[in-house]
Amino acid sequence: MSLAEFHLIDYYFNAFNRPPCAQSQTGIVLGIGDDAAIVEVPAGHHLVLTIDTLVAGVHFPPDTPPEAIAHKALAVNLSDLAAMAAQPLWFTLALTLPHADANWLQAFSQGLRRLAHQYQVALIGGDTTRGPLSITIQAHGCIPAGQVITRRQAQAGDDIYVTGTIGDAGLALAALQGRVALSAQDMNTLLPRLHTPQPRILEGLALRHLAHSLIDISDGLAADLSHILQQSQVGAHITLDQLPLSAPVKRWLQQGGDVSLPLTAGDDYELCFTASPNAREAIAALPFRITRIGHTTPHAGELLCRWANGQTLTLPQMGYQHF
Protein backbone atom coordinates (compact mmCIF):
# COMPACT_ATOMS: atom_id res chain seq x y z
CA MET A 1 0.00 0.00 0.00
CA SER A 2 1.44 3.39 -0.99
CA LEU A 3 2.18 6.16 1.48
CA ALA A 4 -0.67 8.25 0.03
CA GLU A 5 -3.08 5.39 0.58
CA PHE A 6 -1.88 4.99 4.14
CA HIS A 7 -2.46 8.68 4.78
CA LEU A 8 -5.98 8.34 3.45
CA ILE A 9 -6.74 5.47 5.81
CA ASP A 10 -5.08 7.25 8.70
CA TYR A 11 -7.26 10.26 7.92
CA TYR A 12 -10.51 8.33 8.01
CA PHE A 13 -9.84 6.13 11.00
CA ASN A 14 -7.96 8.58 13.15
CA ALA A 15 -10.67 11.15 12.49
CA PHE A 16 -12.90 8.50 13.94
CA ASN A 17 -12.13 9.24 17.52
CA ARG A 18 -12.69 12.96 17.29
CA PRO A 19 -16.03 13.99 18.80
CA PRO A 20 -18.78 12.79 18.85
CA CYS A 21 -17.05 9.41 19.26
CA ALA A 22 -14.44 10.87 21.59
CA GLN A 23 -11.47 9.02 22.99
CA SER A 24 -12.61 9.95 26.46
CA GLN A 25 -14.45 6.62 26.34
CA THR A 26 -14.23 4.46 29.45
CA GLY A 27 -10.90 2.87 30.13
CA ILE A 28 -8.83 3.83 27.08
CA VAL A 29 -5.28 4.23 28.34
CA LEU A 30 -3.82 4.39 24.81
CA GLY A 31 -5.87 4.41 21.58
CA ILE A 32 -5.01 4.50 17.86
CA GLY A 33 -1.51 5.57 16.85
CA ASP A 34 0.91 3.38 18.78
CA ASP A 35 1.96 -0.22 18.22
CA ALA A 36 -0.98 -1.49 20.26
CA ALA A 37 -3.88 -0.15 22.31
CA ILE A 38 -4.05 -0.28 26.10
CA VAL A 39 -7.34 -0.42 28.02
CA GLU A 40 -8.44 -0.79 31.59
CA VAL A 41 -11.27 -3.22 32.35
CA PRO A 42 -13.70 -1.84 34.98
CA ALA A 43 -13.07 -3.27 38.46
CA GLY A 44 -15.06 -6.40 39.29
CA HIS A 45 -15.83 -7.13 35.63
CA HIS A 46 -14.85 -9.79 33.11
CA LEU A 47 -13.63 -8.74 29.66
CA VAL A 48 -15.85 -10.22 26.90
CA LEU A 49 -14.23 -10.63 23.46
CA THR A 50 -15.78 -11.51 20.12
CA ILE A 51 -14.59 -11.35 16.51
CA ASP A 52 -16.35 -11.64 13.15
CA THR A 53 -15.22 -11.35 9.55
CA LEU A 54 -17.37 -10.21 6.63
CA VAL A 55 -16.08 -11.17 3.17
CA ALA A 56 -17.42 -9.55 -0.01
CA GLY A 57 -19.41 -12.05 -2.05
CA VAL A 58 -19.88 -14.37 0.94
CA HIS A 59 -21.48 -12.22 3.65
CA PHE A 60 -22.68 -9.34 1.48
CA PRO A 61 -23.05 -8.67 -2.27
CA PRO A 62 -19.94 -6.71 -3.46
CA ASP A 63 -22.11 -3.75 -4.51
CA THR A 64 -23.64 -3.27 -1.02
CA PRO A 65 -23.43 0.42 0.04
CA PRO A 66 -20.21 0.94 2.07
CA GLU A 67 -22.19 2.49 4.98
CA ALA A 68 -24.21 -0.72 5.20
CA ILE A 69 -21.11 -2.95 5.07
CA ALA A 70 -19.55 -0.96 7.92
CA HIS A 71 -22.76 -0.97 9.93
CA LYS A 72 -23.21 -4.70 9.55
CA ALA A 73 -19.57 -5.52 10.36
CA LEU A 74 -19.87 -3.71 13.68
CA ALA A 75 -23.51 -4.72 14.32
CA VAL A 76 -22.81 -8.47 14.11
CA ASN A 77 -20.06 -8.06 16.72
CA LEU A 78 -22.22 -5.93 19.00
CA SER A 79 -24.94 -8.55 18.61
CA ASP A 80 -22.54 -11.19 19.96
CA LEU A 81 -21.85 -8.94 22.96
CA ALA A 82 -25.62 -8.47 23.41
CA ALA A 83 -25.97 -12.26 23.44
CA MET A 84 -23.57 -12.34 26.42
CA ALA A 85 -25.50 -9.52 28.14
CA ALA A 86 -22.26 -7.54 27.92
CA GLN A 87 -21.78 -3.77 27.93
CA PRO A 88 -19.86 -2.88 24.72
CA LEU A 89 -16.77 -0.70 25.24
CA TRP A 90 -14.21 -0.80 22.41
CA PHE A 91 -13.43 -2.44 19.07
CA THR A 92 -10.56 -2.99 16.64
CA LEU A 93 -10.84 -3.12 12.85
CA ALA A 94 -8.80 -5.15 10.34
CA LEU A 95 -9.61 -3.85 6.88
CA THR A 96 -8.52 -5.51 3.63
CA LEU A 97 -9.23 -3.35 0.57
CA PRO A 98 -8.60 -3.94 -3.14
CA HIS A 99 -7.65 -0.23 -3.42
CA ALA A 100 -7.96 2.91 -1.29
CA ASP A 101 -10.96 4.76 -2.71
CA ALA A 102 -11.66 8.03 -0.87
CA ASN A 103 -15.43 7.97 -1.55
CA TRP A 104 -15.73 4.39 -0.38
CA LEU A 105 -13.67 5.04 2.77
CA GLN A 106 -15.63 8.19 3.55
CA ALA A 107 -18.96 6.33 3.35
CA PHE A 108 -17.60 3.29 5.19
CA SER A 109 -16.20 5.33 8.08
CA GLN A 110 -19.46 7.28 8.29
CA GLY A 111 -21.53 4.10 8.64
CA LEU A 112 -19.11 2.77 11.23
CA ARG A 113 -19.03 5.99 13.19
CA ARG A 114 -22.82 6.29 13.32
CA LEU A 115 -23.34 2.88 14.92
CA ALA A 116 -20.27 3.24 17.18
CA HIS A 117 -21.65 6.52 18.46
CA GLN A 118 -25.10 5.05 19.05
CA TYR A 119 -23.66 2.46 21.45
CA GLN A 120 -20.71 4.55 22.70
CA VAL A 121 -18.06 2.09 21.54
CA ALA A 122 -14.65 3.46 20.53
CA LEU A 123 -12.34 2.28 17.75
CA ILE A 124 -9.00 1.71 19.50
CA GLY A 125 -6.85 0.21 16.73
CA GLY A 126 -6.66 -2.03 13.73
CA ASP A 127 -4.73 -3.05 10.66
CA THR A 128 -5.04 -2.18 6.98
CA THR A 129 -3.92 -4.39 4.09
CA ARG A 130 -4.49 -4.70 0.35
CA GLY A 131 -6.46 -7.64 -1.02
CA PRO A 132 -10.04 -8.80 -1.76
CA LEU A 133 -12.53 -6.73 0.29
CA SER A 134 -12.91 -8.13 3.78
CA ILE A 135 -13.68 -6.56 7.14
CA THR A 136 -12.80 -8.09 10.49
CA ILE A 137 -13.93 -6.46 13.71
CA GLN A 138 -13.11 -7.56 17.21
CA ALA A 139 -15.43 -6.06 19.81
CA HIS A 140 -14.70 -5.83 23.52
CA GLY A 141 -17.22 -5.50 26.30
CA CYS A 142 -17.57 -6.24 29.98
CA ILE A 143 -19.89 -8.04 32.36
CA PRO A 144 -19.95 -7.93 36.14
CA ALA A 145 -18.21 -11.04 37.49
CA GLY A 146 -20.89 -13.57 38.50
CA GLN A 147 -23.48 -12.35 35.95
CA VAL A 148 -22.40 -14.44 32.99
CA ILE A 149 -25.25 -15.70 30.77
CA THR A 150 -24.33 -18.50 28.34
CA ARG A 151 -26.03 -21.03 26.05
CA ARG A 152 -25.61 -23.72 28.69
CA GLN A 153 -27.96 -22.83 31.50
CA ALA A 154 -31.43 -23.38 30.04
CA GLN A 155 -33.57 -25.55 32.35
CA ALA A 156 -36.40 -27.88 31.35
CA GLY A 157 -39.66 -25.97 31.82
CA ASP A 158 -38.18 -22.56 30.92
CA ASP A 159 -40.16 -20.23 28.68
CA ILE A 160 -38.56 -19.47 25.30
CA TYR A 161 -38.61 -15.90 23.97
CA VAL A 162 -37.38 -13.90 20.97
CA THR A 163 -36.92 -10.14 20.62
CA GLY A 164 -38.25 -8.14 17.64
CA THR A 165 -39.49 -9.99 14.57
CA ILE A 166 -37.84 -12.84 12.68
CA GLY A 167 -37.46 -13.64 8.98
CA ASP A 168 -37.24 -10.03 7.78
CA ALA A 169 -33.60 -10.13 6.69
CA GLY A 170 -34.06 -13.57 5.12
CA LEU A 171 -37.07 -12.46 3.08
CA ALA A 172 -35.23 -9.31 1.94
CA LEU A 173 -32.27 -11.41 0.80
CA ALA A 174 -34.57 -13.85 -1.02
CA ALA A 175 -36.14 -10.89 -2.84
CA LEU A 176 -32.72 -9.38 -3.70
CA GLN A 177 -31.70 -12.73 -5.16
CA GLY A 178 -34.92 -12.93 -7.19
CA ARG A 179 -36.23 -16.00 -5.34
CA VAL A 180 -39.39 -14.21 -4.20
CA ALA A 181 -41.31 -11.17 -5.45
CA LEU A 182 -42.20 -8.38 -3.00
CA SER A 183 -43.95 -5.03 -3.40
CA ALA A 184 -41.63 -2.01 -3.47
CA GLN A 185 -43.13 -0.88 -0.18
CA ASP A 186 -42.45 -4.19 1.59
CA MET A 187 -38.93 -4.20 0.17
CA ASN A 188 -38.37 -0.71 1.60
CA THR A 189 -39.49 -1.96 5.00
CA LEU A 190 -37.34 -5.09 4.92
CA LEU A 191 -34.06 -3.94 3.34
CA PRO A 192 -32.86 -2.01 6.42
CA ARG A 193 -33.35 -5.20 8.42
CA LEU A 194 -30.84 -6.91 6.13
CA HIS A 195 -28.38 -4.04 5.65
CA THR A 196 -28.50 -2.23 8.99
CA PRO A 197 -29.56 -4.70 11.71
CA GLN A 198 -29.90 -3.19 15.20
CA PRO A 199 -27.86 -5.10 17.78
CA ARG A 200 -30.10 -5.80 20.79
CA ILE A 201 -27.64 -4.40 23.33
CA LEU A 202 -30.22 -2.80 25.64
CA GLU A 203 -32.33 -5.94 25.59
CA GLY A 204 -29.29 -8.06 26.50
CA LEU A 205 -28.40 -5.79 29.41
CA ALA A 206 -32.00 -5.83 30.66
CA LEU A 207 -31.97 -9.63 30.66
CA ARG A 208 -28.98 -9.90 33.01
CA HIS A 209 -31.04 -10.93 36.02
CA LEU A 210 -33.82 -12.62 34.07
CA ALA A 211 -32.52 -15.00 31.39
CA HIS A 212 -31.18 -18.49 32.11
CA SER A 213 -29.65 -18.82 28.63
CA LEU A 214 -29.19 -16.40 25.77
CA ILE A 215 -28.04 -16.42 22.12
CA ASP A 216 -28.29 -14.07 19.15
CA ILE A 217 -30.03 -15.22 15.98
CA SER A 218 -27.47 -15.06 13.21
CA ASP A 219 -28.13 -18.41 11.50
CA GLY A 220 -31.91 -18.60 11.97
CA LEU A 221 -34.06 -19.19 15.04
CA ALA A 222 -34.17 -22.98 14.69
CA ALA A 223 -30.38 -23.37 14.29
CA ASP A 224 -29.50 -20.93 17.05
CA LEU A 225 -32.10 -22.21 19.51
CA SER A 226 -30.71 -25.69 18.79
CA HIS A 227 -27.33 -24.51 20.11
CA ILE A 228 -29.00 -23.67 23.43
CA LEU A 229 -30.80 -27.03 23.42
CA GLN A 230 -27.63 -29.02 22.74
CA GLN A 231 -25.45 -27.15 25.22
CA SER A 232 -28.12 -27.14 27.94
CA GLN A 233 -29.26 -30.73 27.28
CA VAL A 234 -32.94 -29.79 26.98
CA GLY A 235 -35.55 -29.88 24.19
CA ALA A 236 -38.07 -27.29 22.98
CA HIS A 237 -41.67 -26.95 21.85
CA ILE A 238 -42.31 -23.92 19.64
CA THR A 239 -45.84 -22.77 18.80
CA LEU A 240 -45.68 -21.49 15.21
CA ASP A 241 -48.76 -19.26 15.61
CA GLN A 242 -46.82 -17.25 18.21
CA LEU A 243 -43.77 -16.38 16.07
CA PRO A 244 -43.34 -12.59 15.99
CA LEU A 245 -43.57 -11.61 12.31
CA SER A 246 -43.51 -8.24 10.56
CA ALA A 247 -46.39 -7.19 8.30
CA PRO A 248 -44.42 -7.93 5.08
CA VAL A 249 -43.50 -11.45 6.25
CA LYS A 250 -47.12 -12.11 7.32
CA ARG A 251 -48.36 -10.92 3.91
CA TRP A 252 -45.84 -13.14 2.15
CA LEU A 253 -46.94 -16.18 4.24
CA GLN A 254 -50.62 -15.45 3.52
CA GLN A 255 -49.77 -15.54 -0.18
CA GLY A 256 -48.35 -19.05 0.15
CA GLY A 257 -44.85 -18.38 1.50
CA ASP A 258 -43.13 -21.15 3.46
CA VAL A 259 -43.24 -20.77 7.27
CA SER A 260 -39.85 -22.45 7.51
CA LEU A 261 -38.27 -19.22 6.16
CA PRO A 262 -38.67 -17.19 9.36
CA LEU A 263 -37.43 -20.23 11.32
CA THR A 264 -34.35 -20.96 9.23
CA ALA A 265 -33.27 -17.73 7.49
CA GLY A 266 -30.29 -16.00 9.07
CA ASP A 267 -29.14 -12.43 9.62
CA ASP A 268 -31.94 -11.26 11.93
CA TYR A 269 -29.65 -10.49 14.89
CA GLU A 270 -32.53 -10.70 17.32
CA LEU A 271 -31.97 -12.40 20.68
CA CYS A 272 -33.43 -15.77 21.68
CA PHE A 273 -33.45 -16.63 25.38
CA THR A 274 -34.97 -18.86 28.00
CA ALA A 275 -36.20 -17.83 31.44
CA SER A 276 -38.14 -19.24 34.35
CA PRO A 277 -41.96 -18.88 34.14
CA ASN A 278 -41.53 -16.90 37.40
CA ALA A 279 -39.90 -14.14 35.34
CA ARG A 280 -42.92 -13.66 33.02
CA GLU A 281 -44.16 -10.47 34.64
CA ALA A 282 -40.73 -8.86 34.80
CA ILE A 283 -40.06 -9.73 31.16
CA ALA A 284 -43.48 -8.45 30.03
CA ALA A 285 -42.72 -5.16 31.80
CA LEU A 286 -39.49 -4.55 29.81
CA PRO A 287 -39.80 -1.69 27.28
CA PHE A 288 -38.95 -3.91 24.29
CA ARG A 289 -40.82 -6.10 21.86
CA ILE A 290 -40.27 -9.56 23.33
CA THR A 291 -42.47 -12.55 22.44
CA ARG A 292 -42.88 -15.85 24.26
CA ILE A 293 -42.86 -18.57 21.58
CA GLY A 294 -42.72 -21.83 23.52
CA HIS A 295 -41.02 -23.71 26.33
CA THR A 296 -38.16 -26.10 26.94
CA THR A 297 -38.65 -29.81 27.69
CA PRO A 298 -36.52 -32.61 29.24
CA HIS A 299 -35.96 -34.23 25.78
CA ALA A 300 -32.33 -33.21 25.11
CA GLY A 301 -31.76 -31.71 21.66
CA GLU A 302 -35.34 -32.23 20.37
CA LEU A 303 -36.91 -29.21 18.64
CA LEU A 304 -40.64 -29.60 17.97
CA CYS A 305 -42.46 -26.92 15.94
CA ARG A 306 -46.26 -27.14 16.12
CA TRP A 307 -49.28 -25.12 15.12
CA ALA A 308 -51.84 -24.48 17.87
CA ASN A 309 -54.13 -26.98 16.06
CA GLY A 310 -51.59 -29.76 16.73
CA GLN A 311 -50.13 -30.00 13.20
CA THR A 312 -46.32 -30.32 13.26
CA LEU A 313 -43.70 -28.90 10.89
CA THR A 314 -40.59 -30.71 9.70
CA LEU A 315 -37.75 -28.28 9.11
CA PRO A 316 -35.32 -28.42 6.17
CA GLN A 317 -31.56 -28.25 6.83
CA MET A 318 -30.74 -25.43 9.19
CA GLY A 319 -28.11 -22.71 9.16
CA TYR A 320 -25.58 -21.58 6.59
CA GLN A 321 -22.76 -24.08 5.98
CA HIS A 322 -19.47 -22.43 4.92
CA PHE A 323 -17.61 -25.71 4.27
Give the DSSP letter string of 112-167.
Answer: HHHHHHHTT-EEEEEEEEESS-EEEEEEEEEEETT----SS---TT-EEEEES-SS
> Distance between CA 139 and CA 227 in Å, rounded?
22
Q: Which of 35, 40, 63, 281 binds ligand ADP (CB under 6 A)?
A: 35
Distances (CA, A) of 100 to 70, 84, 141, 191: 15, 35, 30, 27
Contact between 241 and Mg ion by CB under 5 A: the answer reads no
Residue 24 CB contacts under 8 Å (≥ 6 apart), including other chains: none
Candidates 32-40, 59-67, 157-165, 249-257: pick the segment binding ligand ADP (CB under 6 A): 32-40
Which residue type, as a one-letter code, is found at position 164? G
Report the Cα 45 to chain-centroid distance in Å: 23
Candidates 28-36, 185-193, 206-214, 264-272: pick the segment binding ligand ADP (CB under 6 A): 28-36
Contact between 99 and ligand ADP by CB under 6 A: the answer reads no
> Distance between CA 214 and CA 109 in Å, rounded?
31
Contact between 34 and ligand ADP by CB under 6 A: the answer reads yes
Q: Taking CB under 5 A as the criterion, which residues in 121-160 touch Mg ion?
A: 127
Contact between 93 and ligand ADP by CB under 6 A: the answer reads yes
Pairing mode of beta strands 45-55, 122-130: unpaired
Q: Which of 66, 88, 126, 170 binds ligand ADP (CB under 6 A)?
A: 126
Cis amide leading into 262 (omega within 30): no
Distance of closest approach, residue 129 Cβ to Mg ion, in angstroms = 8
Interaction partner, residue 93 (ligand ADP, Mg ion, none; CB < 5-8 Å by kind): ligand ADP
Q: CB nearer to ligand ADP: give 33 or 157.
A: 33
Closest CB to Mg ion belongs to which residue?
A: 127
> Distance between CA 318 and CA 323 in Å, rounded?
14
Q: CB nearer to ligand ADP: give 35 or 63.
A: 35
Q: CB nearer to Mg ion: give 9 or 286.
A: 9
Contact between 13 and ligand ADP by CB under 6 A: the answer reads yes
Contact between 302 and Mg ion by CB under 5 A: the answer reads no
Distance of closest approach, residue 39 Cβ to ligand ADP, in angstroms = 13
Among the listed residues 218, 271, 16, 198, the one whose alpha carbon sits nearest the alpha carbon of residue 121: 16
Positions touching Mg ion (CB under 5 A) are 127
Per CB under 6 A, residues contacting ligand ADP are: 13, 32-35, 93, 95, 123, 125-128
